[in-house]
Amino acid sequence: MNATLEQSVFPPLKLEDYDIHQDCGFLPSQTPAYVSLPSAFQPIEQIATQLPKWMTTGKLRQAIANLPEVTPERELNDLQWRRAMLMYSYLTHAFVWGQPPPVSTLPRNLAVPFYTIAQNLGRPPVLSYASYALDNWVRIDEAEPIEIGNILIFQNFLGGLDEDWFILIHIDIEAKAAPALAIIPTLLNSVVRDDSEAVIQALDVIKTAWMAINTTMERMPEACDPYVYYNRVRPYIHGWKNNSSLPNGLIYEGVDEYNGEPQQLRGETGAQSAIVPTMDALFNISHSNDPLREFLMEMREYMPPSHRAFIEQVEQQSTLRNFVKERMGQMPELGDRYNDCVSLIEQFRTQHLEFAARYIHSQAGRANNDTHIGTGGTPFMQYLKKHRDESTQHLLRSTD
């Protein structure tokens, strides 16, 4: 396909069309955390703000059950919808998991507004990565970067250093990914124009970003202890799909669209971040068609729709692997840069696999916190190993 036809089929990607920011990546340029909501939300905000305190009382469910049923106003702006989603996500998971045993019915004062808010954002009514990490931070100094040391976590379940650090690492990673995401339109255009030098320069930007991402990832053990994570952080982010504690899912009382039927929804997981799926799409890293790939595709439903759309556009437009493969004989540096980036993605997946083994798989199992099933409801060790290995298999060799 020639360049002119390519460009007519695929107009240049514009980051702003997908809610992606040059300096922040998939993070919002303005955090929803401090956005004010209408006065009707005040009782909800009060409980959400004091949630770590209520979690110690044994009266959390009673307090939440007594909250008013708010009717979200249609004129809320995007940041307000996301702020409300953050609150209701935390309150819902605290209600379900905050006291033993877990409950199988969410009262309508939570369920109905939560459903309405989630529908407006195009995401399921459950705690997902977008609320847990992307929208859950405050920058200390607006003139300084979004990174550990200059960001605070806004909403917690129990609170404490380990819970904060676990989320901070993810936010820092999202910020470090921003240059790699921002260069994608230029990279795809360079492929269309058959500009190998520009492709190499773009791959250098992505390589540098992934080195920074992996450096941040390695910092997880600095302030998040595996025992504390497993016992004080992980229990509250589980969902109600493929979960033995809620085998039938969760009933959302009063939500007419569900007809009283229990809903099975995945829990919060890093697999709901759009970074790695975007990179898989860009580097044409494919995963074999099996239940684990189906899970990966399902995770997109929990992402903000704009981020999901960006992944799909990159999947449709990227011919990077073939471009490099056809030219690396005459320009070995192309193959080297491509492989450098794929190797760094594989390194990230390897580190993730090692942390999963240390923070979850090797912990002593307890009720409502299976060591073999991830918070997303999958056999995560198998899932992580498979996708790590498939990254390695996509390295280009001179014989390819």
- 302 is a domain residue: yes
Nearest alpha carbon to residue 194 among 293, 331, 42: 331
Top pLDDT among 357 and 197 is at 197
In this prediction, residues 134-157 reach a mean pLDDT of 97
How many whole angstroms separate alpha carbon 292 and alpha carbon 380? 9
The predicted model scores a pTM of 0.92
What range does the domain containing 204 cover?
3-392
Give the confidence band of 10 by pLDDT, cuts at 50, 70, 90.
confident
Residue 297 has pLDDT above 70, yes or no: yes
pLDDT in tens, 272-293: 999 999 999 999 998 777 677 7
Residue 67 has pLDDT above 90, yes or no: yes
- 363 is a domain residue: yes
Query: What is the pLDDT at residue 3?
Result: 40
- 225 is a domain residue: yes
CATH number of 239's domain = 1.20.58.480
Query: What is the pLDDT at residue 382?
Result: 59
Residue 355 has pLDDT above 50, yes or no: yes
Helix (H) or strand (E) holding 93: helix 78-97
Task: Find the range with the poorest average confidence among 140-144, 276-280, 369-373.
Answer: 369-373
- 310 is a domain residue: yes
Could you give the number of structural domains in the chain?
1
Give the confidence band of 221 by pLDDT, cuts at 50, 70, 90.
very high
Tell me, rounded to whole angstroms, the distance of Cα 191 from its chain centroid.
28
Give the confidence band of 8 by pLDDT, cuts at 50, 70, 90.
very low
First to last CA, the chain: 21
Is the CB of residue 74 less than 8 Å from the CB of residue 112? Answer: no
- 93 is a domain residue: yes
- 400 is a domain residue: no
| % of the chain residues with pLDDT over 90 | 78
How many whole angstroms separate alpha carbon 224 and alpha carbon 230? 10
Query: What is the pLDDT at residue 1?
Result: 38
- 224 is a domain residue: yes
pLDDT in tens, 98-118: 999 999 999 999 999 999 999
Is the CB of residue 387 less than 8 Å from the CB of residue 356? Answer: no
In this prediction, residues 257-275 reach a mean pLDDT of 96
Coil, strand or helix: which one is 106? strand
Q: Quick one: DSSP state of residue 132?
A: I
How many whole angstroms separate alpha carbon 387 and alpha carbon 290? 12
Query: What is the pLDDT at residue 203?
Result: 98
pLDDT in tens, 302-341: 999 999 999 999 999 999 999 999 999 999 999 999 999 9
| Neighbouring residues of 234: CB distance < 8 A, sequence distance ≥ 6 | 359, 360, 369, 375
DSSP string of 219-282?
Answer: TGGGT--HHHIIIIIGGGS--SSS-TTSTT-BEETT-GGGTT--B------GGG-SHHHHHHHH
Phi-psi sector, 183: left (phi>0), alpha (psi -120 to 50), beta:
alpha
In this prediction, residues 32-50 reach a mean pLDDT of 95
- 397 is a domain residue: no
Give the confidence band of 359 by pLDDT, cuts at 50, 70, 90.
confident
